[in-house]
Amino acid sequence: MDRLHAHFRIVLYCLGLFLTLVPGHVSAQTPTGNIESKKALLKLAEQEGDLSQQALFLKLIGADFQQQSAFDSALTYYSRGLTLSEAAGNLELSSALVYNISLIYRIQGSYGRALEYALRALKADRELGDQANVAASLNSVSLIYQEMGLYDKALDYTQESIEISRSAGNTEDLAIGRYNLGNILLKTGKTDVALNNFNLAAEGFNKMLALRPGDPSLRRMLSETVYSKGEIYFRQAKYGQALENFQQALEVKEALGDRIGIGNCYNYMGLTYMQMKEYDLAEQALFTAFNHKNQFSDRKGLALASLGIGRMNLERANYEGAENFLQRSIAIGLEIDDKEILREGYKLMYQLNSQRSRYQEALKYHTLFKDYSDSLQNEKTVQIVEELNVQYETEKKEQENQILVRNNQIDKLTIQKQRSMGMYLIGTIILVLMIVVIIFILYRSKQKTNKIISLKNTQLEEQNAQINEQKRIIELKNLDLMDSIQYAKRIQDSMLVNVERLNDILEDAFIFFRPKDVVSGDFYWFGMKGDRFIISAIDCTGHGVPGAFMSMLGNTYLNQIIYDQGITSPEKILEALSQEVQDGLKQSETSNQDGMDMALCSIDMKKKYVDFAGAKNPLVYIQNGEAVRLKADRLPIGISFSEDQSFHNQRIEVRSPSCFYMFSDGFPDQFGGEDGGKFMTKRLQALFQEIHGESMNRQKEILGSTLDEWMKDEEQIDDILVIGFRLE
């Protein structure tokens, strides 16, 4: 009888092993039949009572459901198998099951539970001494930490995995480790080093595929690596190479039936087409991604796809469609608590409501966007202090409750004593002795409690001292930083031309300049070259220190272009400046897209005409009481996706006294007024027309008082620059 049972177990095991070796494409073609066969074998194993065999077939059935992206069903079978394998004491099978459970939780975005099971798998693999499995589990833990945004922890686990694989000469796990490392570097912005690691990973996967052609796991990892390379090319604005990689990854994922991966590829292809202004192709790809994510309950993927569709509709001015998908993305972001998705969603909702002149809503979303951008570090600090305070208050309350309970016991004993005054003397003596003993115990307990409270108070004081010391250090660093910024302001002020020289050249002029911070991203430039007087109002990307760096670059380039190269035509000055910025910031090689918006006038002082060219910023002039706004070219100074376009010159003949105005977007975009909306360019132009008869110095005063009255208690949101001059 025992031999028959043993023989049966061997046959059952061989059948199970055969099913695991069936090629992946066969399983994908006939999944139902394959699962039903394994369920039949599971019933035989249940009749035999072999727990390990039951767990094995539950694992195999779960793997089939996982391959079909039926994750809830897979999780059910894996969990049943884990219970049986643990009951059987089969550590190796338990390790495989918790590893697979971790993978599913990671796919579903339940990163806390995914991490719990991944660490259990790692612990079991270390106990078993299986170095290949240890490397795989280390990579799994690293991926989860990446999803949680804890890149330092992810890096530790990835580096350990790479060292183990390199020492063991394991090409496959080493390639996986390289892929993991590339992902971490990509997420921390080190794209060049990340690309190098992805190339090494792809080389390793191709080497293994030469030995195991058609291996689905190797093909899947190679497709992920190619997909990640596409993401790098996308960030570097190399859209042709990005699309090529996404398409290559998509073909493999479709062949493997990887529905989640298919949706990811279509999502990035849609974003790439959007950057290329191919909106029809972008719409088709993004909706394909959306349908995949929705069908297979990928919550984060669905939120990202909705975000992409919302962004595309916003660019196409389809505001209702944009709002619908952005709100859907924000709702999922709140559900899964993904701050990056929420931050981007609030930013786009702010832009949408601004464009629709819904200023109250725009202000609300701008506040939410700012909160999610700036509050992470403060949130962590407050959380630490709150945890310490809650811990102290909780322990103190528990100790007070203990004292109250014991005091209540004393009260009860006292009442009993009062009620038993007529009892026998011996009973009274015994009761008194009991009370004395209890009081003594309570006294000792209270002393012990006081010591504990004193110790906790000491610990809290030490922690408060540490926090105060950290605060002091931060204040000192802030003072150093402010000294540095003040020094930078002196450098920037010395760079700008003295405003008093302006009225030495023109009949009547003013420069209204109000930086948001100590240093500014807006700046002005003017000077003579031959018979030409050239003057410009420039708005650099950003404000504060980053904007100030750009302003110094812009001032230096303008000096070279006008004084050294002798270029005085406005459109040629803008083209030369744009090329200098692209070359200086190496924008063709990096993902840097910083630049400038500006308006520039070149005045022929003898012939009395004004040539104007603008990069996004217009020129307003008033002649014979009529206000005219000359639109600028919709091109920035710096990198542009419209390489076939160029800047254009516009000429104004000065046949009567005329006033000219150039400005950055700081004044029109400032929030204020009764409704909390923007000032807007149209209102500013009307103000110019109203005050143009005044002297330029008086006009500057009116602009300042108007802005102050408009802002009231509102915060200044950007640098503000307005230049005005009169030609007779």
pLDDT in tens, 36-81: 888 888 888 888 888 888 889 899 999 988 888 788 888 999 999 9
CA distances to 212, 580, 636, 663 from 577, in Å:
55, 5, 10, 19
One-letter amino acid for residue 456 of the chain: K
CA distances to 601, 605, 691, 721 from 500, in Å:
19, 19, 22, 16
φ, ψ of residue 319 in degrees (nearest 5): -70, -40
Beta bridge partners of 104: none
Q: Residues with Cβ < 8 Å from 451, sequence gap 6 or more?
A: none
Cα–Cα distance for residue pair 315/671, rounded to 1 Å: 23
What pLDDT is stored for residue 681 in this prediction?
93
Q: Is the dihedral of CA 316, 318, 324, 327 positive or negative?
A: positive
Residue pair 174/165 in contact (Cβ under 8 Å)? The answer is yes
Inter-axis angle of helices 191-211 and 171-187, nearest 10: 160
Give kind and range of the element (H or E) at residue 638.
strand 637-638
Sequence-distant contacts of 222-226: CB under 8 A, at least 24 apart: 222/252, 223/248, 223/249, 223/252, 223/253, 223/256, 223/258, 223/261, 224/179, 224/249, 224/261, 225/179, 225/182, 225/198, 225/201, 226/202, 226/252
Which token pair is 53? Answer: 């065999």
Q: Residues with Cβ < 8 Å from 372, sequence gap 6 or more?
A: 339, 342, 343, 346
Beta bridge partners of 599: 537, 614
Cα–Cα distance for residue pair 420/417, rounded to 1 Å: 5
φ, ψ of residue 727 in degrees (nearest 5): -120, 130
Cα–Cα distance for residue pair 594/280, rounded to 1 Å: 28
Q: Length of the chain, please?
A: 728
- In a 3-state reduction of DSSP, which class is residue 717? coil
Cα–Cα distance for residue pair 312/31, rounded to 1 Å: 38
Report how far apart the first and last C-alpha atoms of the chain are (Å, whole number): 118
Residue pair 87/51 in contact (Cβ under 8 Å)? The answer is yes
What pLDDT is stored for residue 422 in this prediction?
60
Map tokens 């719990």 to a residue: 116
Cα–Cα distance for residue pair 312/95, rounded to 1 Å: 45
From 209, 183, 212, select the one nearest 198 (Cα to Cα). Answer: 183
Q: Supply the DSSP string of 629-689, one letter for each residue.
A: EEPPBS--EE--S-TT-----EEEE--S-EEEEEE-STTTT-EETTTTEE--HHHHHHHHH
Which DSSP category does 517 fall into?
S
Cα–Cα distance for residue pair 111/147, rounded to 1 Å: 7
Residue pair 669/694 in contact (Cβ under 8 Å)? The answer is no
Beta bridge partners of 416: none
One-letter amino acid for residue 98 of the chain: V
Cα–Cα distance for residue pair 171/206, rounded to 1 Å: 10
Q: Is the dihedral of CA 423, 424, 425, 426 positive or negative?
A: negative
Which DSSP category does 705 fall into?
H
Which token pair is 152? Answer: 């330092």
Q: Residues with Cβ < 8 Å from 123, sequence gap 6 or more?
A: none
Strands in 471-520 per DSSP E: 508-514
3-state helix, strand, coil in the chain (%, to 5): 70, 10, 20
Cα–Cα distance for residue pair 640/574, rounded to 1 Å: 13
What pLDDT is stored for residue 612 in this prediction?
98
One-letter amino acid for residue 31 of the chain: P
From 621, 385, 664, 391, select the one nearest 512 (Cα to Cα). Answer: 664
What pLDDT is stored for residue 24 in this prediction?
31
Integer-rounded Cα radius of gyration of the chain: 36
From 263, 274, 273, select the one nearest 300 (Cα to Cα). Answer: 263
φ, ψ of residue 555 in degrees (nearest 5): -60, -45
One-letter amino acid for residue 231 of the chain: E
Residues of the chain with pLDDT under 70: 1-33, 296-297, 374-424, 480-481, 483-484, 487-488, 542-544, 640-644
Map tokens 């919550």 to a residue: 299
Cα–Cα distance for residue pair 698/45, rounded to 1 Å: 95
- In a 3-state reduction of DSSP, which class is residue 534? strand
